[in-house]
Structure 1
Amino acid sequence: MSAATSGSAETGEGHEAHTPPPTPVPTLNIANFLTLSRLAMVPLFVIALFSGDGTDTMWRSVATALFAIASLTDQIDGWVARRYGLITDFGKIADPIADKALIGAALVGLSLLGELGWWVTALIAVREIGITLLRFWVIRHGVIPASRGGKAKTMTQVAAIVAYLLPLPPQVEPVRWVLMGAAVVLTVVTGIDYVLRALRLRAAGKRATSGP
């Protein structure tokens, strides 16, 4: 038997051996469902926040619980996506958008109730909207995933907002200021980091398309 015949016999009569392509990850999966559920909870949170003129202890507790649950899904959907290989481009884009919608609704609500300075809400909103637009600006070159700094920023924002949402005595006001101050600092620092990453990604994409 010749080498050619032997090779043909090993790989199948006249056919080359090949590995099957990887199964594509479906967009409709449990991780993305959790992300979408976070978006769906935003209007419910807003309704609870403004019920009872925004000062009713029971409704503030409900609003805080809804905000906390919605924020928790951010941790769960990320873990599920990584654990079971359900990471999709849709999830990479929808997840930060859901975070921004929830955080933005809480900040605007607190400012409308006169409990948080509008400058804080404006600064964070400009950063979040700007980063979202930045993601779409470079999306043809690639997706900018959430960084560790971005996750730390989100967690700090969540902790600060929960402190403001809870019907707590005035004595804890300094704690609220410290948490929100840390959130503002992380918001600015990570915003600069995202801009630099987007510029590098766009430059690399242009080099790849233009060729040598």
Structure 2
Amino acid sequence: MKGKKIIIIAVLLIVSAFTLAACGGGKEETDTKGNNASQQNTSEESSSESQGNMSEHMSSSGEVPASVQEAENPKYEAESTAIINVKHMNMEGMSDAEATITGAYDTTAYTVSYTPTTGGEPVEDHKWVIHEELLVEDPGDTPLEPGTEVTLNTDHMKGMNGATATIDSAEDTTVYMVDFTPTTGGEKVVDHKWVVESELEPAE
């Protein structure tokens, strides 16, 4: 009888051990899956945020001011390709992207600082706004001098149109409107305004 009891107790102990191990394994698997799901969600959110930022900052309208002059002899002609060698603000995926030229114009390009009409932190040295996208009380000669106060008459970014801005720098150049697919992936950016000629390199 004693022997049977010992055997039964031993069997119960073995069964209990297996049950605990199984429960522990299941918990570990759940935790692992949970962690993986959390990491995946974070990655997806980060990717979505990055694409959202790109979409928010990039211009998606092909409209240009009626008064802007098309370039007569641009270095990069419409429908040709070039490599972008600059990154504007926090636009990841712009540098080294292959761009298709959709428009070329001879004008004055400005970097400007302004506070968005939608609120938020001031934007400093925004590249680029062209002369025909500015409203100024006394236009005078172009280019406008640094420190000149103007009103932005364009919507490259949210809160830009109608904002009061200060000219930081000016450059007489050819500006290009371009299409490109970010090197970091995501949707194609269409009719981005603007890239100046010195920010482009010939595509091999």
Scaled by the length of structure 2, the TM-score of the pair is 0.32
Q: Max radius of gyration: which structure?
A: 2
**Larger strand percent:** 2
**Larger helix percent:** 1
Scaled by the length of structure 1, the TM-score of the pair is 0.31
